């Protein structure tokens, strides 16, 4: 059986759990406590060369790291990856953009809030919000006249890009500014097999 090493609050791990659910693939979940430094422990570093989750251990014992790589591996040959080479490349473009530009300015203030450090980090949070709002504005403009990020259907682009964006309010972002993003997030969450970050949310 597939074994997913993850953490409860990680948006990157959440992406993988959503796809596993949507593909109806059974998996064993091993949840690490990152605050206790469990990702840096030697036994886990044998599995994850970057000492980070998610890491997906395959049936044959090999392990894949990086959420985008894991998504691509799992979704190969399914409706979540467009067959058309241009659309496939556009999908990858959104996945790269998410990792390079969307994730950090949203994840950093969220971690400060979740760990009760927000009051001490107001300057850093303001810097992240400036950067993050500029990126969210680009996303808002792109998605406003569209249903999905790429082509005519839900793809890995929507899955990968939506997770941290939907967590932005936990980092103090005002999403009232982004009606088209909010509508798109609603469409993503309504996809069959979609699961929330935490049970019962
Ligand atoms: N680009 C990586 C990022 C992975 C990452 O940053 N994981 C974080 C949790 S979201 C982690 O494991 N951090 C290790 C730690 O906090 O010790 C991916 O998408 O998989």
Q: Which atom of ligand 1 is nearest to the CA of 68?
A: 19
pLDDT band at residue 34 using 50, 70 and 90 as cut-offs: very high
Beta carbon of 103 within 6 Å of any ligand 1 atom: no
pLDDT band at residue 201 using 50, 70 and 90 as cut-offs: confident
CATH architecture of the region 2-75 = 3-Layer(aba) Sandwich (3.40)
Output the CA–CA distances (angstroms, integers) from residue 19 to 28, 119, 196, in the order listed: 14, 35, 12
CATH 1.10.3720.10 fits 85-189, yes or no: no
Longest Cα separation, the chain? 48
* Domain residue ranges of the chain, discontinuous segments joined by +: 2-75, 85-189
Pairwise CA distance, residues 201 & 182, whole Å: 17
For residues 33-37, give the mean pLDDT: 93
User: How far does the centroid of ligand 1 lie from the alpha carbon of residue 152, in Å?
Assistant: 31
Beta carbon of 105 within 6 Å of any ligand 1 atom: no
pLDDT band at residue 30 using 50, 70 and 90 as cut-offs: very high
Q: pLDDT > 90: what percent of the chain?
A: 98
């Amino acid at each position: 059986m597939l074994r997913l090493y993850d953490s409860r609050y990680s948006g990157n791990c959440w992406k993988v759990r959503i796809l596993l659910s949507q593909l109806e693939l059974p998996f064993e979940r091993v949840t690490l406590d990152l605050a206790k430094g469990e990702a840096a422990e030697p036994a886990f570093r044998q599995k994850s060369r970057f000492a980070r989750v998610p890491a997906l251990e395959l049936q044959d014992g090999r392990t894949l790291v990086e959420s985008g790589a894991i998504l691509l591996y799992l979704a190969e040959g399914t409706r979540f990856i467009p067959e058309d080479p241009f659309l496939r490349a556009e999908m990858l473009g959104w996945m790269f953009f998410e990792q390079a530009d969307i994730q950090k300015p949203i994840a950093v203030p969220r971690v400060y809030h979740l760990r009760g450090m927000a009051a001490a980090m107001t300057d850093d949070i303001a810097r992240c919000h400036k950067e993050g709002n500029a990126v969210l504005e680009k996303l808002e403009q792109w998605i406003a006249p569209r249903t999905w990020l790429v082509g005519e259907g839900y793809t890995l682009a929507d899955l990968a890009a939506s997770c941290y964006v939907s967590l932005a309010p936990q980092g103090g972002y005002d999403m009232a500014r982004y009606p088209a993003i909010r509508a798109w997030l609603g469409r993503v969450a309504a996809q069959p097999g979609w699961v929330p970050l935490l049970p019962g949310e």
